[in-house]
Chains A and B, each alone.
Chain A
Amino acid sequence: MQNAVKGKDGITRYLVTIKVNGDEYTRIVKANTLLVNFLRDELDLTGTKRGCELGDCGSCTVLLNGKPVDSCLVLAVEADGQEVTTIEGVAGVDGLDKIQEEFIKNGGLQCGYCTPGMIMSAKALLAKNPKPTEKEVREAIAGNLCRCTGYVLIVKSILAASGQEMETYYE
């Protein structure tokens, strides 16, 4: 790889440029730097959470070229030249995204730790499928573990963001 330089400690470091939330950031990283740590430590984008660190919980979900991935399973060097969207890139200057609004309105969050990842999964789903069924919503967030809500109000929030009622919801 061209943009690599070996440090005094004998460890190679790599120059990477990643477009995050529309802006390009160039940093020097070690090969073992995970995208989640790149975002949190290098860019201070701490909205992306570390949960299980094994791809089981989805707390670190970001969009990589528009698709949700666990940023704890992606090396920063692998994301070189790619586009990443994090939770910080979801709201616009003129206000919250519809999904974010509906999470607040419908009680789709409690401790909030899984929320950024959950919203990223929802964002990707609705971008691809604006009117998902309840089953499709559940499929889309099945990689995002929430310990607080039992998912009911999360599913309701996402359906609401797509302009739909949750048919199984009992008021």
Chain B
Amino acid sequence: MSLLPEYRDPSKKKEYAVIGKSKPKIDGPEKVTGAAKYCGDLKFPNMLYGKMLTSPYAHAKILSIDTSEAEKIPGVKAVITHKDVPSKKYGISPARWDENCLCIDKVRYVGDKVAAVACVDEETCYKALAAIKVEYEPLPAVLDYRHAGDEGMPNIHEEYPGNINTEIHQEFGDLKKAFEEAYYVRKDVFQGQRAYQSPIEAHCAISMWNGNKLTIYSTTQSTHYFQYYIAREFDLKMGDVRIIKPYIGGGFGGKLEPTGLEFNGAVLAKITGRPVKMFYDRADMFYHNRGRHQGTYELTTAVDKNGKILGVHANFILDGGAYTSLGIATAYYAGALLPLTYEFDNYKFDMYRMYTNLPACGAQRGHGAPQPKYAFESHLDNIARDLGIDPLEIRLVNARKPYTTTVNSFDIQSCELKACLERVAELSDWRKKKKEGMPKNTGIGIATGAFVSGAGYPIYRNDWPDASCMIRMNEDGTSATVYNTTVDLGQGSDTVICQMAAEAMGYRYENMRIISGDTEAGPMDFGAYSSRQTLMSGWAAKRAGEDIKRQVLNMAAAMMGLPPDDLDARDGIIFSKSHHHPTKWQPLTYEEVVSQYCKLYGPLIGKGMYKVHATGGTFKGAAVGTSPAYSFCVQAAEVKVDEETGEIEVLAFYDVHDCGQPINPMLIKGQVHGALYMGMAETYWEEVHFDPKTGVCLNPTLGGYLLPTALDMPKIIKNEIVDSYEIVAPWGVKEVGEGSTNPTMGCFRNAIVDAVGVTINSTPITYEKVWRALKDKKEGKQPAEIKMPPPPANAAVKPY
């Protein structure tokens, strides 16, 4: 091996060898050849198939369940009801556990779990389910969240009178004074729809027992939370529960919580003594749901004459569906994240999350933030228009600065929001377009967003590290394997973690391997949610990599006769930083050093962990929205509106993100494109429809629930990142995947207003709504106003 003096060149010192480069995805070859196994692709000897029977009624008492006919069908191996499963209530968040593995006394939405079967094949499952006779006594159902809290409405959960799931009243500063002293105060009400994550892969869980040990292969975003909750439900030790996540076909928040497939599958596997594969079909997915909450959002904002925000009152009501899911967090997030992008000192946040007899809502990409942000960005544009201020300028006036604290006690570290605004303005030629105008029926809109880089606190309170990681060198040094329990849902965390580990080790990405998502193989990590893995799991990987490097350099020091401090490693080569000689102190390879190490000492293992420092305020709910670091982004969209049909063509889209230092620019592009896709879909198309009388889902198919196709995406998409470095993060990283959904709906809505002068205050902004608004405008009619529903009758506090 010859000397490679460029390693010692001080001018090259900041050049990273592995990170900051668009390395190909580590799982690419398996995924493009069809070799990648997803949960539904797995088979085990003697495996049975299992399925759940769900309720056809939105709200009904279960009078009796007769499984005898189903049991007689050849190939049916087990039929279970609530009598066969633990009655302990579960949920993903201990803030409220209110769900049963199988319903005991009543069902609370069309799709609620009633019974389950295990059979020799899928077909028999469907036959068996059809043969189970359930006698129901239908009850009046609560299907409109806006009236769920009205006097006299039926109660969905006995324990929670008045159908209030979450009630929040937070106040910071002196809002009354701000309103009194304001130059201008405006109130607007907006409405959002129910959306669904709709991953292309359906949920699936394969459960099997070995004595008292339970193993579940599952489509999960968090192996740890599944391990914890499944152990809890069955009173098992965590060490007796093994969760394995095969490849996952997308999650977007929809696979974060147990579904019942795991619990009921485990019971069926126990009863039959065979592995049981429980699966959802497409309709089941829509009924299980846990998608985006729909809500009504009233915003009142006080500004001075320059548009500087003095105070904000956010008054929201959400449709939570029949169970809590992650919804208490959603409810807090909805208000907590609003003060991130703009600085103001007075803030009041009131929220009711209502129970209804519809599928439960949960965490969908951007958790709780996208609809309120759409409302706020639309509201801010209205204020700007009233005051004659350019929408870009009002955002610049209010934009968050780095190293500040929000009114609700979030410590903001790095923040390049102003740079993002300026760059989007340049990319989109904003100022020129505003000055010179745009062609008829075309318009441009802008909006900002911000998001956490991982939640400051775990979902259930515990003291474990947020992330941990182990790296083992192959004995001959030709490869290194990362072991952790991160979850790559497709976003590319396996790739990014390996890049970070390799950089820290001074090793090569191409020789990295990763075994993630097996609680028995890797140390604890909370998984994929709240955009946490690049920062949190990245820290653990970096530290594990440094631990390997330390040991390798020590070994190499002995081999080279130099002090360890004088050595460094890069691209798998260990070299002296100071000694340069044609024959002495020759650089060594990782292969040479690791081989020597393993021969002398056995396995070469590095480990690392990360724990979030204490963060946030002390008021009730202060934990939700805390994070080590926040990302920021700005988007602008140009649209063209067909006046006669309301059809919207997106001409161009711009996104500039402050996501800290990039690890893999290509994956960042992919995240932004994907977030735009989802945000655009929720702006125009996607909505889960329910029959207002029965609660039956009207479009539980991908032909009825419209995801955009390749032909629907904008022609021009320009996205960039700004220079940014976050000191609390490994190599300065921050999140990108979820934050990008936050500005999208708002910037599209604002572009439509700019194009044709109609304000549409509810999503989705369907072509029909645009057409109707234009028609009303032409006929001189006022647009239909969205009204804020009254507070629930049973509310502890009624702020308005």
Check whether chain A touches chain B (CB < 8 angstroms): yes
Among the 9-residue stretches B22-30, B234-242, B688-696, the one with 4 or more Cβ atoms under 8 Å from chain A is B22-30
- What are the residues of chain B within 8 A of A40 when measuring CB–CB? 41
| Distance of A152 from chain B, by nearest CB (Å) | 4
Q: Are B31 and A109 interface neighbours, CB within 8 A?
A: yes
Known: A96-B32, A151-B677. A142 touches B250 (CB 8 A): no
Q: Are B707 and A47 interface neighbours, CB within 8 A?
A: no
For B670, give its contact among A45, A149, A155, A170 (CB under 8 Å). Answer: A149
| A91: interface (CB < 8 Å) | yes
- What are the residues of chain B within 8 A of A153 when measuring CB–CB? 666, 669-670, 673
- What are the residues of chain B within 8 A of A145 when measuring CB–CB? 200, 702, 707, 709
Q: Are A45 and B34 interface neighbours, CB within 8 A?
A: yes
- What are the residues of chain B within 8 A of A24 when measuring CB–CB? none
- What are the residues of chain A within 8 A of B598 when measuring CB–CB? none
Among the 9-residue stretches A12-20, A49-57, A76-84, the one with 4 or more Cβ atoms under 8 Å from chain B is A49-57
- What are the residues of chain A within 8 A of B1 when measuring CB–CB? none
Beta-carbon nearest neighbor of B709 in chain A: A142
| B201: interface (CB < 8 Å) | yes
Known: A96-B29, A147-B198, A148-B674. A107 touches B701 (CB 8 A): no
For B713, give its contact among A46, A47, A151 (CB under 8 Å). Answer: A151
How far is it, in angstroms, between the C-alpha of A147 and the C-alpha of B32 when the chains are bound? 16
Q: Are B490 and A110 interface neighbours, CB within 8 A?
A: yes
| A48: interface (CB < 8 Å) | yes
Q: Are B709 and A112 interface neighbours, CB within 8 A?
A: no
How far is it, in angstroms, between the C-alpha of A52 and the C-alpha of B249 when the chains are bound? 13
Residues of chain B in range 36-52 having any CB-CB distance to chain A below 8 Å: 36-38, 40-41, 43
| B360: interface (CB < 8 Å) | no
Q: Are B701 and A100 interface neighbours, CB within 8 A?
A: no
| Distance of A85 from chain B, by nearest CB (Å) | 11
B3-37 contact mask (Cβ, 8 Å, vs A): 1 or 0: 00000000000000000001011011111111111
B235-278 contact mask (Cβ, 8 Å, vs A): 1 or 0: 00000000000011110100000000000000000000000000
Q: Are A111 and B200 interface neighbours, CB within 8 A?
A: yes
- What are the residues of chain A within 8 A of B31 when measuring CB–CB? 109, 112, 115
Q: Are B711 and A138 interface neighbours, CB within 8 A?
A: yes
Q: Are A90 and B717 interface neighbours, CB within 8 A?
A: no
| B281: interface (CB < 8 Å) | yes
- What are the residues of chain B within 8 A of A104 when measuring CB–CB? 24-25, 28-29, 32
Q: Are B34 and A152 interface neighbours, CB within 8 A?
A: no
| B780: interface (CB < 8 Å) | no
| A159: interface (CB < 8 Å) | no
Q: Are B716 and A46 interface neighbours, CB within 8 A?
A: no
How far is it, in angstroms, between the C-alpha of A136 and the C-alpha of B250 when the chains are bound? 27
Known: A107-B666, A107-B669. A59 touches B200 (CB 8 A): yes
- What are the residues of chain B within 8 A of A103 when measuring CB–CB? 28, 32
Q: Are B29 and A114 interface neighbours, CB within 8 A?
A: no
In this complex, the member of A116, A147, A153 whose beta carbon has the largest number of chain B beta carbons within 10 angstroms is A147
Q: Are B710 and A142 interface neighbours, CB within 8 A?
A: yes
Q: Are B710 and A141 interface neighbours, CB within 8 A?
A: yes
Q: Are A147 and B252 interface neighbours, CB within 8 A?
A: yes
How far is it, in angstroms, between the C-alpha of A83 and the C-alpha of B396 when the chains are bound? 61
| A105: interface (CB < 8 Å) | yes
| B282: interface (CB < 8 Å) | yes
The A interface is mostly helix, strand or loop, or mixed, namely loop
For A148, give its contact among B35, B670, B703 (CB under 8 Å). Answer: B670
| B81: interface (CB < 8 Å) | no
Interface size on A, residues (CB 8 A): 59
Q: Are B33 and A90 interface neighbours, CB within 8 A?
A: yes
| A165: interface (CB < 8 Å) | no
| B199: interface (CB < 8 Å) | yes
| A22: interface (CB < 8 Å) | no
Q: Are B710 and A154 interface neighbours, CB within 8 A?
A: yes
Beta-carbon nearest neighbor of B279 in chain A: A50
| Distance of A32 from chain B, by nearest CB (Å) | 8
Q: Are B25 and A47 interface neighbours, CB within 8 A?
A: no
| A146: interface (CB < 8 Å) | yes
| Distance of A51 from chain B, by nearest CB (Å) | 5
Known: A113-B200, A116-B34, A153-B669. A53 touches B281 (CB 8 A): yes
B699-739 contact mask (Cβ, 8 Å, vs A): 1 or 0: 00111000101110101111100000000000000000000
How far is it, in angstroms, between the C-alpha of A88 and the C-alpha of B33 when the chains are bound? 6
| B107: interface (CB < 8 Å) | no
Q: Are B702 and A54 interface neighbours, CB within 8 A?
A: yes
Residues of chain A in range 20-52 having any CB-CB distance to chain B below 8 Å: 32, 40, 44-52
| A119: interface (CB < 8 Å) | yes
How far is it, in angstroms, between the C-alpha of A104 and the C-alpha of B495 when the chains are bound? 12
| B489: interface (CB < 8 Å) | yes
- What are the residues of chain B within 8 A of A54 when measuring CB–CB? 282, 701-703
| A71: interface (CB < 8 Å) | no
Q: Are B248 and A111 interface neighbours, CB within 8 A?
A: yes
Known: A90-B33, A148-B674. A113 touches B249 (CB 8 A): yes
- What are the residues of chain B within 8 A of A90 when measuring CB–CB? 33
For B716, give its contact among A109, A111, A141, A170 (CB under 8 Å). Answer: A170
How far is it, in angstroms, between the C-alpha of A153 and the C-alpha of B683 when the chains are bound? 22
- What are the residues of chain A within 8 A of B701 when measuring CB–CB? 52, 54, 56
- What are the residues of chain B within 8 A of A143 when measuring CB–CB? 709
| A2: interface (CB < 8 Å) | no
- What are the residues of chain A within 8 A of B41 when measuring CB–CB? 40, 46
| Distance of A140 from chain B, by nearest CB (Å) | 8
How far is it, in angstroms, between the C-alpha of A101 and the C-alpha of B202 when the chains are bound? 27
For A111, give its contact among B35, B198, B489, B676 (CB under 8 Å). Answer: B489
| Distance of B686 from chain A, by nearest CB (Å) | 11
How far is it, in angstroms, between the C-alpha of A137 and the C-alpha of B711 when the chains are bound? 9
- What are the residues of chain B within 8 A of A56 when measuring CB–CB? 701-703
How far is it, in angstroms, between the C-alpha of A145 and the C-alpha of B202 when the chains are bound? 14
Could you name 22 residue pairs across A and B whose Cβ atoms are closer than 8 Å?
A47-B35, A49-B249, A52-B702, A56-B703, A88-B33, A100-B33, A104-B25, A110-B670, A111-B200, A111-B201, A113-B200, A115-B32, A138-B709, A138-B710, A138-B711, A141-B710, A142-B709, A145-B707, A146-B200, A152-B717, A155-B710, A168-B717
Additional A-B contacts beyond A111-B200, A151-B713 (4; CB < 8 A): A49-B201, A110-B490, A112-B36, A145-B200
